[in-house]
Amino acid sequence: MIKYCRSDRGQAFPIYIMMVAGLLFLAFAFFAVGKASATRNGAQGAADAAALAAAQEARDQMGPAFLAALLLPGGLDDFFEDNRIGGGGSCDQAQRFAAENRSDVVPYGCDWHSTNSRGEVTVEVKTRYTVGDSVIPDTETRHATATATAVVEFRCSPKPEDKPGDGNGRDEDKDDKKDDKAGPIKFDCDGRNDLEIDPADPDPWAELGKTLFAVHLIDD
């Protein structure tokens, strides 16, 4: 009887070893999946930061052209029709922010599309680091890639100018007169308090730009 029990124990031991080995493999596999997920999240964070940086840089750069457009009749419409939102050195800024997150913008991976009063930039990045060694083959050479899209969107509308005159016709002659110097222009921005801009003597663009143009990420 004793010999029979010892035989059972001898047969169970290899099964026990196989179960432990299987559990260890699963543990390492889950660890590898976790590392891959962390790498992917790092790539997405780098892409988000790069896209936002490109959009914010584009907003900062458009100040002189936007303010100059306010000096011309119909200049604002021409400004947006010419697709002035985007481009410039904004993609260089995207690369700088990607690098800060240990990633790089892939070749031709910064693309602008502008329509009317809205500009979109899509940035694709690739991590400089890999998933690392794991029980899953080839993870030590696998980099993560991700894309993000940010928009620069004009969120204001010029308020209609007050009609001159008091109703008695005394100021009708003023209708045909144009001042050599453009006066302040009022904007209604998302229902906020009226924004008034004097194109000839504007406030610093850093603050005006944030009020006039919204910058945010959108789902791809």
Phi and psi at 127, nearest 5°, equal -70, 145
Least confident among 6-10, 37-41, 83-87: 6-10
Distance of CA 164 to the CA centre of its chain: 44
In the numeric block, the tokens 């910058």 are attached to: 215
pLDDT of residue 168: 44
Mean pLDDT calculated for residue range 130-134: 63
C-alpha closest to that of 113 among 98, 105, 123: 123
In the numeric block, the tokens 């400004």 are attached to: 79
Question: Is residue 59 classed as helix, strand or coil in its secondary structure?
Answer: helix
Please give the structure tokens belonging to residue 45.
Answer: 């964070």
Which is more confidently placed, 220 or 59? 59
Give yes or no for residue 82 having a pLDDT over 70.
yes
In the numeric block, the tokens 């194109």 are attached to: 199
